[in-house]
Structure 1
Amino acid sequence: MTMAYLSLGSNVGNRRKHLLYALAQLRADHATVSMKTAHFYITEPVGGVVQDNFLNTAVAIDTKRSAESLLALVHQIEQAQHRHRFIHWGPRTMDLDIIFYGDEHINTKTLTVPHPEAPNRRFVLEPILEISGDDRAIQRQVSDWLAETDDHQQINKLS
């Protein structure tokens, strides 16, 4: 089993419903042994495209899936939520990214882990830090990235 950290976000339609659907699909997956979910956060979009704010969260999943198999599941969940990839950094019903997959460094045509943009995204780092628990390696990496990031975006944690 491997502990994977994923970031989830939505800014189209019923954002909460989209996130809850994705979380339910991840939890119900036959390969998910356990799952911990961060609070939801309201965040401003990045990338310069005018669009609504995002609702974001993160999950830590203890999974029996390989990284590539987990990526396939992530894409299935996005497609079930009618995710379209027409505009880079544009609006989306669902955005799921694998940020960490254990302590592995993966660089294939379809997957790069740790996620290359994670150090620049406070909306990814803060929720992961919230759920990292006793995972000292993730806590240290995420804390270092937070200390070094130029992203001063305000994110608002929901109760």
Structure 2
Amino acid sequence: MNEISTNIVFLSLGTNKGDRLSNLDNSIQHIEHKCGKILNISSIYETEAWGNNDQEAFLNQVIEISTQLTAHELLAEVLAIETLMGRVREVHWGPRIIDIDILFYGIECFNEPNLIIPHPQLQFRNFVLIPLKEIAPDWVHPLLGKSVEELILLNPDKLAVKKVLRS
């Protein structure tokens, strides 16, 4: 009998278009329905836009899930959820209804044209690290060998991250 593998995954959610709170809630519902069991949800944080700051502020959140999907299947599902929710990719780092990024897929690492895990920029983004610290402060980045707490201390990002709603 084959044993089904379960993986712990951290996802980053971000939105700055439309009803931002509903966008986060809806994405979490879709993720739970299509991707796996929600194990932990961070508070919601408001942040200035990163990379392209000529746009509305974002609401960001990090969730931890348990999934039986492979990393490739998970990527396909989160992209499908973004599309279902109305995301259109027009401008790099532009405004969006929802953005779902795979931060970590267990301790596995992928470096493929369409799949890079751990997320290659997470250690430079307070809007990811601060909510991640709330739910997994001791999680160790498998490539950098540093905990989330340590990554925050080393992070040069100076954009403010303000907690707006507790989980």
Corresponding residue for 2:163?
Answer: 157
Q: How many residue pairs align between the two structures?
A: 157
Question: SS of the residue aligned with 1:35?
Answer: strand
Instruction: Indicate the RMSD between aligned Cα atoms, in angstroms.
Output: 1.7
Gap runs ≥5 in structure 2: 1-5
Please tell me whether the aligned partners of residues 48 and 160 of structure 2 are also in contact (alpha carbons under 8 angstroms).
yes
Paired residues for 1:95-114 under 5 Å = 95-114=99-118
1:28 corresponds to 2:54:
no
Gap runs ≥5 in structure 1: none
Please tell me whether the aligned partners of residues 33 and 64 of structure 1 are also in contact (alpha carbons under 8 angstroms).
no
Q: d(CA) in 1 for partners of 2:139 and 2:115?
A: 24
Identity of paired residues, percent?
35
Letter in 1 for 2:69: R
Q: d(CA) in 1 for partners of 2:130 and 2:139?
A: 15
Corresponding residue for 1:15?
Answer: 20
Q: d(CA) in 2 for partners of 1:156 and 1:136?
A: 22
Question: SS of the residue aligned with 2:162?
Answer: strand
Distance 1:136 1:125, change over 3 A: closer
Question: SS of the residue aligned with 2:140?
Answer: helix
Corresponding residue for 2:3?
Answer: none
Q: d(CA) in 1 for partners of 2:98 and 2:23?
A: 7
1:60 corresponds to 2:90:
no
Q: TM-score, normalised by structure 1?
A: 0.92
**Which residue, 3, 7, 12 being the options, matches 1:2?**
7
Corresponding residue for 1:126?
Answer: 130
Q: d(CA) in 2 for partners of 1:43 and 1:111?
A: 26
Shift of 1:137: 2.9
Q: TM-score, normalised by structure 2?
A: 0.88
Q: d(CA) in 1 for partners of 2:95 and 2:79?
A: 16
Letter in 2 for 1:102: G
Letter in 1 for 2:18: G
Q: Which of structure 1's runs of 4+ aligned residues deviate more than 4 A?
A: none
**Which residue, 137, 140, 147 being the options, matches 1:137?**
140
Q: d(CA) in 1 for partners of 2:62 and 2:52?
A: 23
